[in-house]
Amino acid sequence: MSDAKKKKIEINNLVVKYEDKTALKGISFDVYENEILGVIGPAQSGKTSMLKVINRTIEFIPEAKAEGVVKVDGEDVMKMKNVYELRRKVGMVFPLPVGLPLSIYDNVAFAPRAAGIRNKTDLDELVERCLKQSALWDEVKDRLDSLGTKLSGGQQQRLTIARALSHQPEILCLDEFSIAVDPVTTMRIEDVLKELRSEMTIILVTNLVQQARRLANRTAFIFNGDLIEIDDNDVIFSEKPAQKMTYDYVNGNFG
């Protein structure tokens, strides 16, 4: 990515601790506007902690403590007074789909209604757009009043993505979105993400190295709380990335 690219997120010396355990040890990097940044590394490397700091859901964990500076559009997220505005800007999709006990329609319309959108025509358009963006519309358009929790696992995960998109976020964070999704649905969601890249910045945390290789513009490798390397994909997945540990990990030699 060119240095002329606009920085959407700036992470500087980010440390995250859970009581006596340090999850992140002072990582620093930028995320550019309209890129997909892949984040890879073994389990318990601190990847999810990083995402939770970006939209301040880390605050829901009483023993967690974050230090350092994380900026979104130049604003320090830790100092933002309106955390709800931040979470609308930064959509989050977690590994396992958690559907609200509502209809498919109301799952997607829930956040817009909470934000004050009441006009049915506006809500109808927004729900349809988000379900189309998440590659779910054609499968559910004739049963929008059905419970979202009755959908298959893959459909529920796409509904979760539609719900995240209903905030009209500028940043979409995905944390192992394909853990509970079959390969065919995974590929459909990947196609969706490629299209969404033109509209928003995407951070893709994944244990699937090849998924990062397929989707990301750049990839960051985090290991045991340390940022080992971040670079364009043609460097990270080459025969000679900057760090031998990166080469070993992406080639399955450890992890």
Q: What one-letter code names the amino acid at 221? A: F
**Residue 133 falls inside a structural domain:** no
Q: Which H or E element spans position 220? A: strand 218-223
User: How far apart are alpha carbons 181 and 187 in whole angstroms?
Assistant: 10
| pLDDT higher than threshold 60 for residue 28 | yes
Does residue 27 carry a pLDDT above 90? yes
Let me know if residue 113 belongs to a domain: no
In the chain, the number of structural domains is 1
- Structural domain for 67, as ranges: 7-96+169-250
99 pLDDT exceeds 70?
Answer: no
Output the domain CATH number for residue 74.
3.40.50.300
Where is pLDDT greater, at 49 or 184?
Answer: 49
pLDDT band at 2 (very low <50, low <70, confident <90, very high): very low
Q: What are phi and psi of 22, to 5 degrees?
A: -100, 115
What phi, psi does 113 have (nearest 5°)? Answer: -65, -40
**pLDDT for the residue numbered 212:** 96
Please indicate, yes or no, if residue 105 is contained in any of the structural domains. no
Residue 46 is assigned to a structural domain of this protein: yes
Distances in Å between the Cα of 226 and the Cα atoms of 15, 22, 37 are 10, 10, 17
pLDDT in tens, 155-192: 888 899 999 999 889 999 999 888 777 888 888 889 88
Position 238 in a domain:
yes
Would you say residue 255 has pLDDT above 60? no
State yes or no: pLDDT of 54 exceeds 80.
yes
Calculate the average pLDDT of the chain.
Answer: 92
Contact 78, 132 (CB under 8 A): no
CA distance 7 to 136: 31
pLDDT value at residue 209: 95
Model confidence band, residue 95 (pLDDT cutoffs 50, 70, 90): confident
Q: Stretch 4-11: mean pLDDT, rounded?
A: 92
User: For every residue of 29-65, which 3-state class applies, written as one string?
Assistant: EEEECCCEEEEECCCCCCHHHHHHHHCCHHHHCCCEE
pLDDT tops 50 at residue 206: yes
Tell me the chain's radius of gyration from C-alpha atoms.
18
Classify residue 164: in a domain, yes or no.
Answer: no
Domain assignment of residue 2, yes or no: no
* Rounded Cα gap, residues 116 and 57, in angstroms: 23
Asked if the structure places residue 244 within a domain, the reply is yes
Whether the pLDDT of residue 1 is over 80: the answer is no
For the chain, the first-to-last Cα distance in angstroms comes to: 27
